[in-house]
Amino acid sequence: MNTPAVSISLSSYGADLVRERGQGSFIDILAAASATRIEWREELLTTEAPALLAQATQAQGLESVYSSPMELWLAGQSKPNSELVSALQRAQAFGSKWLKVSLGYFTDNSDLQTLARLLDTSPVQLLVENDQTLQGGRIEPFQRFFDEVDQHELPIKMTFDIGNWHWQDQSATSAARLLGRYVGYVHCKAVTRRADGKLVAIPPAASDLQQWERLLRHMNQDVMRAVEYPLQGDDLVQLTTAHVTALARLGQSQRESAHV
């Protein structure tokens, strides 16, 4: 039985620590924790050399996802974001098989044919994520977008961020039911509201893991999943290992019962 791939978004270790230490310093931690993939965060890059990071991850048997904060569609423009080509090139330079971006302002006028031509020039697969914004954090635009993706037979999958649906008061359960067949990557994070009213990501409780298990039933059984919540402690290898194990188990009880 295959174990699902587990990725760690490096933002989980805290922006200040990641910028201070450099993203390459976490490669050995993830390898020791039996993670499968590492998610580079463009917004946290400092002086990292892409080729060196690509070589170091490969040497440790890790694959990588490149996360860019760019929106695929900008307001008032039918063509894809002009930054997409350079983002695909950066992802490839980092040795990443996947580029994760946000949806942005997708409309009926968005030009999928131009998008198809751009993707044809790159070996990197595009992953489009629900973020926390009004334009890119609701279910309905994703339904329309992936309907078009299907019609144009584009090699695009969804990054399903479980926690981000909270920011636009969307149901993660409804989103999983309606969009699950398109998902290629799951960002896992629990969310709570602080006393000041702000929503923040937190590590999962047992009830969160149970909910994630239910959500994953709407997706491919071996879908890649990622930690994107705070991993903070004195022993980062031990902490990361525990969360890698927890996420790898999600959906496995269903598979085991199916093989009985």
The CATH number linked to 206 is 3.20.20.150
pLDDT at 252: 77
Element spanning 73, H or E:
strand 63-73
pTM above the 0.75 mark?
A: yes
Is 131 part of a structural domain of the chain? yes
Is 42 part of a structural domain of the chain? yes
Non-local (6+) Cβ contacts of 120 within 8 A are: none
Q: Which residues pair with 39 in a beta bridge?
A: 9, 65
Range of the structural domain that residue 123 is part of: 6-258
CA distance 169 to 69: 21
3-class DSSP state of 76: coil
Residues of the chain with pLDDT under 70: 1, 253-260
Provide the residue type at 19 as one letter.
R
Provide the residue type at 37 as one letter.
R
Is 1 part of a structural domain of the chain? no
Contact 5, 36 (CB under 8 A): yes
Is 171 part of a structural domain of the chain? yes
pLDDT at 2: 79
pLDDT at 255: 53
Q: How many domains does the chain have?
A: 1
Is 114 part of a structural domain of the chain? yes
CA distance 200 to 209: 17
Q: Six-digit token pair at 107?
A: 């409309």
**C-alpha pair distances (Å), 164 with each of 17, 112, 184, 190:** 23, 25, 16, 9
